[in-house]
A and B are shown apart, each in its own frame.
Chain A
Amino acid sequence: MNNEQLFTISVFTENQVGLLSRISTIFTRRGLNIESITASSSSMPGIHKITLTCRSTRAAMEKVVAQIEKCVEVLRAFLYTDDEIVHQEIALYKVPTDRLLDLKNLEEVIRIHNARILEITREYTVIEKAGHSDETEALYNLLKRYDIRQFVRSGRIAVTKSPTEHFTYFLEEQEKRRNKTEDL
């Protein structure tokens, strides 16, 4: 089990009630922990995209992806390692404003961490940072000295680095299959 690593799974699905729980049971019954999950509609009408991350071996993840693809309403599922994708997540930090003012180099912190301030009240300030987990983690570690009241991090979203759009090709293939079925 020492060749475990973090994988990202991109799943394209039809919009179907209950599909997310069907997919998550595939992980739970194998004792796999989903590290993060993001689900939303995609740019294509009617098609949803779920992005999951999970730490495991490639062999185990390939089987999981095959099981995900077996779900009737799943269009395609793709398995990626970090080098194959551009990925991002977003974090929000709510810090008491007076504590934040103790920070002598607030401007520098915001600049270095590529963060931004979304809201300031007398009581608290909300800082937003987008980046990789280790980057949002780094800002967390810095700010925790100033008494973070709330911290929340989104799941990962990702696009591939590949020059070919495999999913678009897949949809075209299905369109051909539909035409063939209708000709029969």
Chain B
Amino acid sequence: MISGAEAILRSFLAEGTDTIFGYPGGAIMPFYDKLYDYTDRLRHILVRHEQGAIHAAQGYARASGRTGVVSVTSGPGATNVITGLSDALMDSTPIVVITGQVGVATLGTDAFQETDVVGIVQSISKWAFQIRRAEEIPAAVAKAFYIASTGRPGPVVLDITKDAQLGMMEWTGYQPVKYIRSYNPDPEINPADLADAAALLNSAERPLILAGHGITIARAEQQLTALAEKADIPVGATMLGLSAMPSDHPLFKGMLGMHGNIGPNYNTNKADVILAVGMRFDDRVTGDTSRYAPDAKIIHIDIDASELNKNIRATTTIHGDAGKVLNALLPLINQAGREEWLKSFDGPDKVEHETVVMREVFPQETVGVMRMGEVTRRISEATGNEAICVTDVGQNQMMGARYFKFTKPRSLITSGGLGTMGFCLPAAIGAKLACPGRNVIALMGDGGFQMTMQELGTIMENGIGVKIVIMNNNFLGNVRQWQELFFNSRFSATPMLNPDFVAIAAAYGIDGESVMSRDELDGAIGRMLATDRPYLLNVNIESTDMVFPMVAPGAAIDDIMLNVSTKYKPETHE
């Protein structure tokens, strides 16, 4: 006979879990007590706040493709993971959270640290289940991992009462779940849909691929490139689809959406066929949907049937795994060459380079405050463009997405759908633990850093070699940008008086330095990357720096601002 707490640990091991991010408390104590006997097989990372635990698990999952595991206590422990659950659901991240729960006899009595966890998480979890008896544990954990990691991945919650943790049960071995009657995560692909899609693509003159997070989740990076190359189709990526294709691939035309590249945005409205793979036509990607891709027949591939025809009505939908669909589609697609269509991206690229990129990434001055784009690009290049870039939310995120260069998959980890400030530092911890051999750059602003900076303690205690880059403009920069553009430069609650971040890092025994002027940047980046230890750079950023190009909220996707006063116009040459 073993305890339910031990059954949880054995089940985790059977699922291949090696790391748990968590924080103990009253109702989860039986689990933590048994964990004490398992520390040789399971690494527990004690975070400094439960929000840090779930973001770290998200970073771990996004960097590795494996399910992130979180353990927290009842009540406030559980409510502190709510933001991460919502984030993981939006960004399709496989997470298993166990929350301690009060004893069965006191359920529903407003007992100490009792919260109706299963009730609260209904709309922000893929699945949630309360375990009341020890015997239920192995089957529930098996179901949780299966649901979290298959189909469109997402977070699941197991709310485990104290009775279930303490109760004794017969361990009869672990049966992984491979089938649930009401849940089919691997639908059979309809051959008629494939044929329709192939016919559309084969007759297209100006096709465009929109690559989303689904490519990465399905590990279909090679299939994507193979299809694009065979039919000579340009590719634009959503923010979460970045790094599925190397940044320097000739068919890769950049990022889609509000702060994306002009080429793929402008040409979305020129394309005659759009192949959207594992993406969900988010409003940040489409702009005004009534003026989105007016000339295009749309083929939409997604594993989540509810995404098909949700935001954009498609001509053909293919319900299935991105990798399997692309594999099946490849032989049906004709080889093609599209020199002229591909060349149509050069004009917008040139304009973007001259009006936006030169200013942001290659400024003329050699000293003084820096711009976010140049800092991002210099760090990327200093890592040989091979690092994992974990961003926070806001301008730092857009700069990471726009100016970091990617040569390997799973190299951009960022909170896309929910836009969670404070995501970066803990997510970087998880990414580094998942991929210890890769450089992990935590790229953030001064605002986001201060939302979860207590995780410096986690970094210190575990010697996690993340590289913390604070692009410090003493402003909540993205909101400041919108205030300047849309709210008459009334900077309400966006200037920030900040502490000495390098001194804070030093208090945690983390080396760091402030970079006050451009001529100090390369040296500082070199010192940061020269060590395996964590390092913090506090970089002095131009406070009026803004992210462009920009499609204003509600504007059409080809209505693109190059700066405060100029809109993109294609060069006409007859």
Contact = CB atoms under 8 A, between A and B. Distances in A.
B172 interface: no
A29 B123 CA distance: 9
B568 to A, nearest CB: 33
Interface string B290-314: 0000000000000011101110000
A72 B182 contact: yes
B23 to A, nearest CB: 25
A18 B304 contact: no
A18 B181 CA distance: 18
Interface string B168-198: 0000000000111111100000000000000
A67 B119 CA distance: 18
Contacts of B326: none
Interface in A46-67: 62-63, 66-67
Interface size class of A (residues with CB under 8 A): 20 to 34
B181 A22 contact: no
Contacts of A98: none
Contact of A72 (B119, B147, B178, B179): B147
A63 B123 contact: no
Nearest to B152: A70
Chain B at the A interface: mostly helix, strand, loop or mixed? mixed
Contact of B122 (A14, A21, A66): A21
A93 to B, nearest CB: 35
A63 B309 CA distance: 8
B127 A72 contact: yes
A70 B179 contact: no
Contact of B130 (A13, A17, A75, A184): A17
A104 interface: no
Contacts of A43: none
B128 A73 contact: no
B94 to A, nearest CB: 14
B402 interface: no
B122 A63 contact: no
B305 A70 contact: yes
A63 B181 contact: no
Given A72-B180, A72-B183, A25 B306 contact: no
A13 B122 contact: no
A70 B306 contact: yes
Contacts of A184: 178
Contact of B305 (A29, A66, A178, A181): A66
A18 B178 contact: no
Interface string B112-123: 000000110011
B432 interface: no
Interface residues of B, number: 22
B270 interface: no
Contacts of A22: 122-123
A56 to B, nearest CB: 15
Interface string A55-91: 0000000110011011011110000000000000000
Contacts of B127: 72
B126 interface: yes
Contacts of A174: 181-182, 184
A144 interface: no
A177 interface: yes
A174 B188 CA distance: 12
B182 A13 contact: yes
A77 B181 CA distance: 14
Given A21-B119, A72-B182, A75-B181, A63 B310 contact: yes
A14 B181 CA distance: 9
Contacts of A177: 179, 184
Nearest to A16: B129
B100 to A, nearest CB: 18
A70 B304 contact: yes
Contacts of A66: 305-306, 308, 310
A22 to B, nearest CB: 4
Most buried by A among B126, B128, B306: B306
Contacts of B178: 181, 184
Given A14-B181, A174-B181, 19 more contacts: A17-B118, A18-B128, A21-B119, A25-B122, A26-B123, A62-B309, A63-B306, A63-B310, A66-B306, A66-B310, A69-B306, A70-B306, A72-B180, A73-B183, A74-B182, A75-B182, A177-B184, A181-B179, A184-B178
Interface of A: 13-14, 17-18, 21-22, 25-26, 29, 62-63, 66-67, 69-70, 72-75, 171, 174, 177-178, 181-182, 184
5 contacts: A25-B123, A26-B123, A66-B308, A70-B306, A73-B182
Query: Which 7 residue pairs spanning A and B have beta carbons closest together?
Result: A66-B306, A181-B179, A22-B122, A25-B123, A75-B182, A72-B127, A70-B306
